[in-house]
């Protein structure tokens, strides 16, 4: 059997954590930031855990992660 390919979009967006969870960056922080409050922009910093409902699909996109 040939090797499975990793989805290149997924490998750029998701990282596997040591505990087995998947982390992702927050959305809505790329542009049109002038109308967003400082508090809203501050709370969009950093990485968060992927929702458990989406984990199965993301693991399928990252077969060797």
Q: What is the pLDDT of residues 12-64, one digit of tens each?
A: 999 999 999 999 999 999 999 999 999 999 999 999 999 999 999 999 999 99
Residue 65 confidence (pLDDT) above 90:
no
- Does residue 53 lie within any of the structural domains? yes
- Does residue 1 lie within any of the structural domains? no
Residue 16 pairs in a beta bridge with 22
Range of the domain at 25: 13-61
- Does residue 30 lie within any of the structural domains? yes
- Does residue 51 lie within any of the structural domains? yes
With a CB cutoff of 8 Å and minimum separation 6, the contacts of 26 are 44, 45, 46, 47, 48
The reported pTM is 0.83
- Does residue 7 lie within any of the structural domains? no
- Does residue 34 lie within any of the structural domains? yes
The domain total for the chain is 1
């Amino acid at each position: 059997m040939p090797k499975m390919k990793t989805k290149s979009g997924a490998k750029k967006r998701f990282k596997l954590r040591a505990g087995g969870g998947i982390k992702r960056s927050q959305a809505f922080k790329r542009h049109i930031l002038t109308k967003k409050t400082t508090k809203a922009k501050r709370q969009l910093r950093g990485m968060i855990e992927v929702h458990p409902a989406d984990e199965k699909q993301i693991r399928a996109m990252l077969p060797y992660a």
